[in-house]
Amino acid sequence: MDTSAALRIDQPLATLGQVDADDPAAFNHCFAEVNGIRMHYIDEGQGPLVILLHGFPYLWYMWRRQIGALAAAGFRVVVPDQRGFGQTDRPDAIEAYDMSQAVGDIVGLMAALGETSAVIVGHDLGAWVAQAAAMLRPDLFRGLVMLNTPVPPRGKIRPTVGLQEMAKGRVFHHLYFQQIGKPDRELASDPRKTLRSIFYSVSGSAVGAERWRLFIEAGEPILNSFTEPKEFPSWLSARAIDYYVDEYTRTGFTGAINYYRCRDRNWEITSFLDGAVVRQPSMFIGGAADPSFEPVEIRSIYHRLDIYQPGLQKKVLLPGVGHAAAEESVDKVNELLLEFLEQFKR
């Protein structure tokens, strides 16, 4: 996108009734050279900095209905495409997607913005990055919010070993993504079908056999675990789906999948985090209908979050909401975020 054409006004365009928040051009698009890559990000509003990190397979765009609300409430809202996604660079090496690089990108972005303090909010994969950022740089990140994915501490065993034990002979998607090439090709073969199927099946709108099946059998293609709806629920418009499809058609899925290929590497390079916890004020927002909460091991992490995060102020599961709370339950997520963020305006 030509950033010279981006329109900037005192009140973010996305908050104005006559503007469609689903229109990517309604936001101020910027680029910065950080940590050896060119990063694309949205920059709206003025005030204390809030950074919003998307998950997989999403983009900065998943936060489009939070950006205006937070900016209008007196915050500077910065929303990047993380490395490997959207308009941000996609390095080739798998190790370029480990947590040290992902956190380094956000630290570098803050430096480029001239900011020294932020509240960091992460969804799904972004929650892993946000939690690591809060743990590694408490001097920079003074608050943490995680959406949909409760992140555990480092743990005593290698992640892929723990996931194999949880899967009990079947294949979890983190394990499936350890394969080189195959999942990338499968997801990219028809990006529209892939994204419609994933977005729907992980949501609270899917019921029964339509819901995401977390574990597949050995040799089964991963797309078998999702259902493509005939008609998409109203919380995700055709225009929004088109934006996601256009971006993933252009970029493919390899950069995004490489984060999962670094699960063991992240464990190997963070032995110094054994016993570490997040002490900053924090909050967790999840969906009571999120299929990813079905394994007892995941629910256990949620129930023990106050141990992993002594500064935890609230954790909530929204009724009827699935894995994309920010898109499925806009008003409630905005309300919860603004309630949490109020303490950082003082």
Residues annotated as catalytic are 124, 323
The answer for residues whose C-beta is within 8 angstroms of residue 216's C-beta and 6 or more apart is 170, 171, 176, 222, 224, 225
Q: How far apart are CA 276 and CA 45, in angstroms?
A: 34
Alpha-helix runs per DSSP H in the chain:
64-72, 99-113, 125-136, 159-167, 173-176, 182-188, 191-201, 238-251, 254-261, 263-268, 296-303, 305-308, 325-328, 330-341
b/e for 153-177, b at 16 or more Cβ within 10 A? bbeeeebbebbeebbeeebbbbbbb
Region label for 114, one of left (φ > 0), alpha (ψ between -120 and 50) or beta (otherwise): left
Residue 286 · residue 318 · CB < 8 Å: yes
Q: How far apart are CA 324 and CA 203, in angstroms?
A: 6
Q: How far apart are CA 159 and CA 280, in angstroms?
A: 25
The partner residues of 76 in beta bridges, in order of sequence, read: 49
Closest CA to 165 of 41, 296, 270, 5: 296
Q: How far apart are CA 327 and CA 73, in angstroms?
A: 19
